């Protein structure tokens, strides 16, 4: 699905959003310069694979949060997590580097990618996300994001990050 079709999907499902076009960005630091006056959580999205690439995860968290992949893997019962290849990103989510977003789950029709949301991201009233491309950002409310996930019948897990531990919690 391309950006235009995705935005039409949101409109067709009565999911309101704010749209902001900008130059291509590849890091949260780059995107933050375009989001200075936008009242929404800046988000970092990690596309991860387990040790043998038999399972993939898309993890969304606040942009400033450091993630310990070893602890996250342990919380998920995985021996090892690592950044998955760009080939897997394209194959499973239809994305390229720099445009990773939980909204791309719409392209995962076989539900091969598990969604993980850090607790404060999941609870954020407003969040900034790429609409399948890294040349724009949209703001969705928590309610809008929840409606989007429900429209796709997608489940997810919530991760709590504390000083020296990471564990799963109920959403």
Q: How confident is the model at residue 97 (pLDDT cuts 50, 70, 90)?
A: confident
Under a CB-based contact definition with an 8 Å cutoff, are residues 147 and 13 in contact?
yes
Beta-carbon contacts of 32 under 8 Å, excluding residues fewer than 6 positions away, are: 42, 63
If DSSP codes are grouped into helix, strand and coil, which group holds residue 125? coil
What is the share, in percent, of the chain residues with pLDDT greater than 90?
Answer: 78
- Distance between start and end Cα atoms, the chain: 28
Q: In the predicted model, is pLDDT for residue 166 greater than 80?
A: yes
Q: How confident is the model at residue 103 (pLDDT cuts 50, 70, 90)?
A: very high
**What domains lie within the chain, and their CATH numbers?**
3-169 (3.90.960.10)
Under a CB-based contact definition with an 8 Å cutoff, are residues 95 and 89 in contact?
yes
Q: Quick one: 156 exposed, middle or buried, by C-beta within 10 A (0-12, 13-18, 19+)?
A: middle
What is the rounded distance in angstroms from the CA atom of residue 1 to the CA atom of residue 20?
19
Residue entry with tokens 């799963």: 168
Its pTM stands at: 0.93
Under a CB-based contact definition with an 8 Å cutoff, are residues 104 and 94 in contact?
yes
The model's pLDDT over 113-148, given as tens digits with 9 standing for 90+, comes to 999 999 999 999 999 999 999 999 999 999 999 999
């Amino acid at each position: 699905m391309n950006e235009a079709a995705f935005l039409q999907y949101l409109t067709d499902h009565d999911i309101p959003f704010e749209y902001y076009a900008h130059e291509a960005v590849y890091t949260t630091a780059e995107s933050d310069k375009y989001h200075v006056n936008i009242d929404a959580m800046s988000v970092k999205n990690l596309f991860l694979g387990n040790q043998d690439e038999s399972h993939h995860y898309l993890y969304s968290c606040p942009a400033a949060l450091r993630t310990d992949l070893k602890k996250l893997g342990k919380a998920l019962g995985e021996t090892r997590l690592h950044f998955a290849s760009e080939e897997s990103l394209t194959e499973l989510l239809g994305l390229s580097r720099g445009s990773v977003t939980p909204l791309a789950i719409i392209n995962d029709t076989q539900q091969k990618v598990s969604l993980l949301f850090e607790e404060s991201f999941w609870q954020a009233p407003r969040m900034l996300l790429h609409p399948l491309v890294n040349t724009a950002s949209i703001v969705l409310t928590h309610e809008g994001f929840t409606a989007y996930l429900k429209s796709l019948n997608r489940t997810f897990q919530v991760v709590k990050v504390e000083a020296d531990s990471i564990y799963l919690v109920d959403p």
